[in-house]
Structure 1
Amino acid sequence: MNNVTVFCASSPKVDQAYLNEASQLAEELVKADYGIVYGGGSVGLMGYLADRALELGGRVKGIIPEFMVEVEWEHKGVKDMVHVADMADRKKQMVSSCDAVVVLAGGIGTLEELFEVLSLKKLGQIQHPIIIVNTNAYFDPIIDLLEQMISENFMNAEHRQLWQVVDSALDVCEAISTSPLWSDKAIEFAAVK
């Protein structure tokens, strides 16, 4: 495994614990020799992630839409920066460039990215481990909702293996390596019957 895509917030106004978690994740991924693929931003969790990885000599690839470059959200220190047409192309390239996905706290953009990769995996379009870092129990409502989807038969019980939840970035690399294998034939049990 070579690259990990990280979905996370761009807001710099969040609690310092979330920013620290992004820095810690960068340390863990660089130490494990993973390249980091992320949304190309310079502030918030995105900025902390990229800054710390670059400080440690890690491999960082940013993928950012042109309109974000125009409003100067692009991280100038990331040399491997790909400009794309729009958000859909950004997500597509971020997912196709990686072997695992890690999701840190974020807003609606991060949640959209999380649900897109869960949906792709559910349908057997990707097999990547998807690791949710539940800093300060941030994702508890989402995890509860996913469990409700299963209990009310909107998803099969097997779909609990789509994602792994960890409380800290310190646990991400182990979660990636122990993530259950996912079948490319998952489309056969994607629908509840």
Structure 2
Amino acid sequence: MTLRSICVFCGASPGAHPIYRQAAEALGRHLAEQGVRVIYGGGAVGLMGVVADAAMAAGGEVVGIIPQSLERAEIGHTGLTRLEVVDTMHTRKARMAELSDAFIALPGGLGTLEELFEVWTWGQLGYHSKPLGLLDVNGFYAKLGDFLDHLVQERFVRAEHRGMLQLSETPDDLLHKLRHWQPSVAPKWVDRQPE
């Protein structure tokens, strides 16, 4: 699969440990070196700003999408290839998805998780067939992985849909997995039996 543009979801905070910043820098730089355009939330703060700055410094192309209501709070990044200011969060997410061939989540908070789960749900429902991945920095997503496995065991999520989310500790390995991912053809529902 050819990946020309990847949407990166990540925190507007730098997190508690320097390793998160280092991982964001490594991802931004790696995407630029691979000729992959970065699509992200448009902020200049936290890991968002780190990814964008690293990609730009490595000669990459970076497109930020930010709603008017967050342009001041997340300090809209003025040093990008392009910054699009949109009217709502819904428009932001739809535009990021439209411009992207795949999605990667770095560590982040509720917004990062919400964005990841929304595009994952869209894929599960067949609205797109784009790969998703987690950059598992220092075991950040290990407990989430355990919980997702629990959802499968409890028959709320099909194993095929769980498998839609790739996980890796390095940008290079994660990009390899995303490029070789095959979409699931399983229907969304685990059981369709009456209660």
**Shared fold by TM > 0.5?**
yes
Query: CA offsets per residue over residues 19-55 of structure 1, 9 Å max, x none?
Result: 1101100121111111000000101111110111111
Report whether the alignment pairs 1:192 with 2:190: yes
In 1, Cα distance between equivalents of 2:27 and 2:81: 20
Identify the match of residue 148 of structure 1 among 142, 147, 150: 150
Q: Which residue of 1 aligns with 2:170?
A: 168
Measured on the aligned residues, the alpha-carbon RMSD in Å equals 1.4
So what's the TM-score if we normalise by structure 2? Answer: 0.92
Would you tell me which structure has more helix in proportion to its own residues?
1
Cα distance change on mapping 1:14 and 1:98 into 2, 3 Å: same
So what's the TM-score if we normalise by structure 1? Answer: 0.93
> Matched residue of 1:164: which SS?
strand
The count of aligned residue pairs is: 189
> Matched residue of 1:25: which SS?
helix
Mean alpha-carbon deviation: is it higher for 164-173 or for 26-35? 164-173
Do 1:132 and 1:166's aligned partners in 2 also have CA atoms closer than 8 Å? Answer: yes
Q: Which residue of 2 aligns with 1:102?
A: 104
User: Could you tell me the percent identity over the aligned residues?
Assistant: 35
Report whether the alignment pairs 1:111 with 2:113: yes
Query: CA offsets per residue over residues 115-141 of structure 1, 9 Å max, x none?
Result: 101111111111111011111111112
Q: Which residue of 2 aligns with 1:122?
A: 124
Q: How much has 1:57 moved relative to structure 2?
A: 1.1
Unaligned runs of 5+ in 1: none
Do 2:32 and 2:56's aligned partners in 1 also have CA atoms closer than 8 Å? Answer: no
Do 1:132 and 1:164's aligned partners in 2 also have CA atoms closer than 8 Å? Answer: yes
